[in-house]
Structure formats: structure tokens, C-alpha cells
Amino acid sequence: MPGLPGDGRTPSDVSPIPTSAVHAAAAPLRTRAGDYFQDLQDRITGALEAEDPGARFREDVWTRAGGGGGRTRVIVDAPLLEKGGVGFSAVHGELPDELAAQVPGQGRDFFATGVSLVLHPRSPRVPTVHANFRYVEKGDRAWFGGGSDLTPCYLVEDDAVHFHRTWKAVCDRHDPAYYPRFKKWCDDYFHLAHRGETRGVGGLFFDYLDGDLEARFAFVRDCGAAFLDAYLPIVRRRRDEPWGDAERRWQLTRRGRYVEFNLLYDRGTVFGLKTGGRVESILMSLPLQARWGYDEQPPPGSPEAALVDVLRQPREWVR
């Protein structure tokens, strides 16, 4: 169950499913959300294949013993993407007690559908990106969650500004309170406490978005549509920049940090693995290679140190 249970914040006041909204449209929201996420996966993998000529995602369709299933698409060793995974899933059933207690809504019955992706480009000049958008029902509650964050090996301020500006524009079309709230939530969530660093230069993170679910769905669809606009211009600007062994080595060290975050802190990963999720679909988020030297610190004033500085002190990229 990628994306469950979000970041562990479990507000006690998540509101009931507004039955009128759910049933007003032609199909239940869970059906429309699932159809939307499946289509979003198609659009994103199609655009990435167009960006990386000759590269094709491998597709694995799987079913979950407890109910539902998914469609995992992975690319390995392509010219642009060293490794990338874009997964769709729509799963339902009963949560284990331990997990059920940490997710809003009565009982253990749940439904969750969403898209989750992580792209690790080959070039150390092109940032890694993650995005996840999901719709969840449990007991009498329902909500949307999601977000997207950018993880460069080298800080390029213009890229961070472009990424945040894209997400802020989406947020501002729906609620002016969204961007500042979700930007901070992202910095707080994608945080490696033991390193005193964020995973990257942030983006958006949100969860338990309930209330007017049709309006929330419209926001999530707007986010889904904006993902390629947020990321591809950065890819195009950086993909032809030169790099060598020193940059590759730093990239592998940063990828070690990515592994640390996903295995130590990411709730979706940890709970997914511990509750019998499909291991290969969950761990498709890990990079093809990673490196752990001993106590390697970038020299002060180096481009590598400039990245670490901003990870230790997250910035406001747009006002």
C-alpha cells in the first residue's frame, strides 16, 4: 500500500465521507480516482519514454492476496534514467491492527489508490524526483494525500525556484494557504534527523485532505497534471551538462542518503514492507547504486558543500 499511512500524523478530526459528493457523479469517487491515477501513470510514463528515446518501461501487473492490485512500471539503465519506477495501485482489504490504529477512520477496512514514482537520472547534474498522489478510504473517512520533492546532487537555485514556483501556482489556484503549509510539511517530512539534513530541496507534501472531496480531487488532478511541468524543464536544462568521476561519486553518496531516508523514515516504505506489500514495487524507489564511505565531508566552499548547506537550512524558494 504505497502512501499509507502518510507521514504518521493522524488527526482525530478527519471528517466523514460526504456521501452526497461520493455518489453525485456517475461513478463512486474511488472508481473515478482509480481511473484517474491509472491514466496519470500512462501519461507520465509516456512522456518519460518520449524524453528518453529508445527507452521503454517494463510493466508488471500484480494482484494483492488481500484484495486489489497494481501496475508497476520500471526502467533500468536507460540513457536518461539510471533507474525509474512509476507505480499505480488500487488495493483494499483489512489493515493489520498495528497499522489500522495509526490511520484515521474506524475499523480496519480500507481502500487506497494512487500513483507513486521515483526517477533517478544517470547524470549527477539531473536531480532525482519523487511524486505520489493517492486517495484513501478507511471506515467512514476518506481523504487525498500526496506531494512531490526534488533531490539534486548539486544545488542549482533556478531549478529549485522553478520546481517550487510550479507547485505554488497549482496550490494558489485552489487555496492560498496550501503552498506555505505543504511546503513546510515537505521539509518536515523528508528530513533525515540523524544527518540533520532534508532529503532534497523540498516541494509539496500533504495528507488527510478531506472535507469537500470533489474539490480535493480537483486539486490532486491539477497536481498530477503539473508534475511533468515541474520536472521536465529541469531535466532538459541539465541533461547535457558534463560530469565526471568525482560528480558520480558524490551522486552515489547522495543516493546512500536517499536509501537511508526510505528505509529508516518513509512510512509508506517501512509499513509496506512490514505488512506484506509487494517488495519489488515498494523498493523500486531505491537507486540502482549507492555508496557509503566513512565520514566523507565535502570541502567548505565546494559545490557539494553548497548542497549540504541548503539541506541543513531549508530555504523559501518562492514568495
Residues that bind a copy of itself (CB under 8 A): 58, 60, 74, 76, 83, 85, 193-195, 252, 256, 259-260, 263-264, 270, 273-274, 279-280, 283-284, 286-295
CA-to-CA distance for 197 and 313, rounded, in angstroms? 8
Smallest gap from Cβ 70 to a copy of itself, in A, equals 14
User: Residue 62 phi/psi, 5° resolution?
Assistant: -135, 155
Select which of 92, 120, 130, 191 is catalytic.
130
| Nearest CB to a copy of itself, comparing residues 9 and 291 | 291
| Nearest CB to a copy of itself, comparing residues 173 and 274 | 274
Smallest gap from Cβ 168 to a copy of itself, in A, equals 33
What are the cell numbers at 262? 526510505
3 state DSSP class of 96: coil
To the query of whether residue 23 is one of the catalytic residues in this protein, the response is no
| Nearest CB to a copy of itself, comparing residues 85 and 147 | 85
Smallest gap from Cβ 284 to a copy of itself, in A, equals 6
250-287 burial string, b = 16+ CB within 10 Å, else e?
Answer: bbbbbbebbbbbbeebbbbbebbeeeebbeebbbbbbb
Q: What is the DSSP track for 149-204?
A: EEE-SS--HHHHHHHHHHHHHHHHTT-TTHHHHHHHHHHHHSEETTTTEESSSEEE
| Nearest CB to a copy of itself, comparing residues 26 and 193 | 193
In 10 A of CB 99, how many CB atoms? 19
Smallest gap from Cβ 264 to a copy of itself, in A, equals 5
On whether the CB atoms of residues 275 and 238 are closer than 8 A, the answer is no
Q: Which residues are catalytic?
A: 130
